[in-house]
Amino acid sequence: MFKRSLAALVVTGAMVASTGVYAEGGGKAMIAPGLFSFTIQHDGEPIEVMRNQSKDNRISELYATTFRGMPQPMHPFAPHKVETLGEREFVDYMMQADKSDDVMVVDTRTVGWHERLTIPGAVNFPYTMMKDAEERDWALDEFGAKKASDGTYDFSGAKTLAMFCNGYWCGQTPAMVRAMLELGYPAAKIKYYRGGMQAWTSLGFTVVGEAAE
């Protein structure tokens, strides 16, 4: 009898707490306190970024499968101090990138994945570019790094990059980041959104691409 009463109390408390949290958004799925949506440019078009407001919305089929690779560590680049981002921190960098050329949101996945579905404002630089010297130099130049005649790189103008791939288990961003760190790219200028597309879509955030509804 006591166990049943305790279980009922726990469930009731959870429901009340859940309702209270949801009520903070006035019945809306919020991004952060006071932030319901924001607009950024994607391929020259304004896109309103928000969370899907339908209670029946479900995660994209592209990320519904849970049989994936081993999860990445929270800080996979130690001893390099690359910051790992959650959604709210990532959103901050999205808004910065929309207003400043010194910040970029980088989709490190291969082209096919990027075209299918991506985060608004993201620019595609596949991790495979790091394996080809010419493509690597072009990417680094876009990131603000300049290659000297002796083959070394000047990172004094390096941009801050918020980078992501498919999800917690995906190794594409880690592979690209490690290659860049080996070349000397400043760890403080690299931000790793570990949750990637799987986390982004699980929260019903706006997406763009061929598979976007």
Residues 103 and 13 in one domain: no
- Whether the bond between 79 and the residue before it is cis, its omega within 30 degrees of 0, is yes
Q: Is residue 212 domain-resident? A: no
Contacting residues for 162 by C-beta, under 8 A, at least 6 apart: 85, 90, 93, 94, 97, 103, 104, 105, 106, 191, 193
Range of the domain at 127: 31-202
Residue 49 lies in a domain: yes
Mark out the alpha helices in the chain (DSSP H runs): 2-23, 87-99, 111-116, 133-142, 172-183, 196-202
Query: Among 6-15, 51-60, 63-72, 103-112, which is the least confidently predicted range?
Result: 6-15
Of 187, 191, 189, 43, nearest in space to 121 by CA: 43
Could you tell me if residue 209 is inside a domain?
A: no
Q: Domain check: are 49 and 108 in the same one?
A: yes
3-state secondary structure of 17: helix
Q: Decide if 20 is inside a domain.
A: yes
Instruction: Report the chain's mean pLDDT, rounded to a whole number.
Output: 90
Q: 3-state secondary structure string, 145-188? A: CEECCCCCEECCCCCEEEEECCCCCCCHHHHHHHHHHHHCCCHH
Helix (H, G, I), strand (E, B) or coil at 37: strand
Q: What is the pLDDT of residue 73?
A: 95
Same domain, 23 and 38: no
- Banded model confidence at residue 27, pLDDT cuts 50, 70, 90: confident
Q: What integer is the mean pLDDT of 84-97? A: 98
Give the tens place of pLDDT for each residue, 154-184: 999 999 999 999 999 999 999 999 999 999 9
Same domain, 182 and 131: yes
Confidence of residue 2 (pLDDT cuts 50, 70, 90): very low
- Residue 61 within any structural domain of the chain: yes
Q: Indicate whether this model's pTM tops 0.75.
A: yes
C-alpha radius of gyration, the chain, whole number: 20
Asked if the model's pLDDT at residue 129 lies above 80, the reply is yes
CATH number at residue 123: 3.40.250.10
**Do both 79 and 1 map to the same domain?**
no
Whether 197 shows a pLDDT value over 70: the answer reads yes
